[in-house]
């Protein structure tokens, strides 16, 4: 059955759908000896699909991992500056996997990995609107600042839905919040804190959808259960 090339590449674990589109646009994908263009379709069971001259990987079992990412690790597959990558922490799973979404180098907590490109695409699509829950430590706190943090703001020309903000503790000019957001703009919570007059000193993601970080140690990972994956799909 013919499908769009980027969907085939994503489903076979070559890359995320977005990255697969880039590979096609860069001319690295051929179908039956002809250079592919974005929008082309193919049948992976009948057509010869090559990526940079290499054959399309065979169908594989999908894996889904949850990592407790420590601070100081980037979520890219490699880093030109030589910084440690989160994918190095899940290398012992025995399968090439990719991060689902991102978590800033200075942030920590729940980060998903998978070789299922379609799953990753669904999880990161704006329409999914999964709750993402964070513990947030700040300084420059003043009484009532949580009300400012809970107000809707505009980031990158995009109106952010009002987050749910719960004040957990305060000590002088420092405070700790639990913040629930639905989007995933670049450094969103840190920027929201600055707009509310505070500075975020620590950020940890503790929940995404039905997945909870729990007591998983820093730098360790676990497989998602079939039930957890099914609920996310």
Mean pLDDT of 82-94: 94
| Residue 130 pLDDT | 87
Give the CATH number of domain 131-208; options: 3.40.640.10, 3.40.50.300, 3.30.70.1560, 3.20.20.140.
Answer: 3.30.70.1560
Looking at the chain, the domain(s) classified CATH 3.30.70.1560 span 131-208
pTM of the model: 0.77
User: Which residues of the chain form CATH 3.30.70.580?
Assistant: 64-127+211-232
Catalytic residues: 104
Backbone conformation region of residue 7, classed left if phi is above 0, alpha if psi is from -120 to 50, else beta = alpha
Across the chain, the runs of DSSP E, i.e. the strands, are 3-4, 29-31, 34-35, 41-42, 49-51, 54-55, 64-69, 98-100, 108-114, 132-139, 154-155, 158-159, 164-171, 174-181, 199-208, 211-212, 221-223
CATH fold label, 3-55: 3.10.290
| β-bridge pairing 108-114 and 199-208 | parallel
Q: How confident is the model at residue 61 (pLDDT cuts 50, 70, 90)?
A: confident
Residues 88, 156: Cα–Cα separation, whole Å: 31
Within the chain, all domains assigned CATH 3.10.290.10 are found at 3-55
Q: What CA–CA distance (Å, rounded) separates 24 from 19? A: 9
Domain 64-127+211-232 is of which CATH architecture?
A: 2-Layer Sandwich (3.30)
Average pLDDT (149-161) is 90
Lowest model confidence (mean pLDDT) among 11-20, 93-102, 154-163, 203-212: 11-20
Q: Which of 134, 214, 209, 212 is nearest to 168 (CA)?
A: 134
């Amino acid at each position: 059955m013919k499908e769009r090339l980027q969907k085939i590449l994503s489903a076979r674990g070559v890359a995320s759908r977005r990255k697969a589109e880039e590979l096609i646009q860069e001319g690295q994908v051929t179908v039956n000896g002809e250079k592919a263009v974005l929008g082309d379709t193919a049948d992976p069971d009948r057509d010869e699909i090559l990526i940079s001259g290499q054959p399309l990987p065979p169908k594989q079992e999908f894996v889904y991992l949850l990592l407790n990412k420590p601070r100081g690790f980037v979520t890219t597959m490699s880093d030109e500056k030589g910084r440690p990558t989160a994918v190095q922490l899940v290398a012992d799973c025995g399968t090439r996997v990719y991060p689902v979404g991102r978590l800033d180098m200075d942030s920590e907590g729940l980060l998903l990995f998978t070789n299922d490109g379609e799953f990753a695409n669904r999880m990161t699509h704006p329409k999914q609107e999964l709750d993402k829950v964070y513990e947030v430590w700040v300084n420059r706190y003043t009484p009532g600042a949580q009300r400012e943090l809970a107000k809707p703001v505009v980031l990158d020309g995009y109106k952010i839905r009002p987050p749910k903000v719960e004040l957990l503790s305060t000590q002088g000019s420092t405070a700790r919040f639990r913040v629930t957001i639905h989007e995933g703009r670049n450094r969103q919570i840190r920027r929201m804190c600055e707009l509310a007059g505070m500075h975020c000193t620590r950020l940890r993601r503790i929940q995404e959808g039905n997945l909870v970080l729990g007591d998983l140690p820093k730098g360790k990972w676990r497989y998602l259960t079939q039930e957890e994956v099914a609920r996310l799909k």
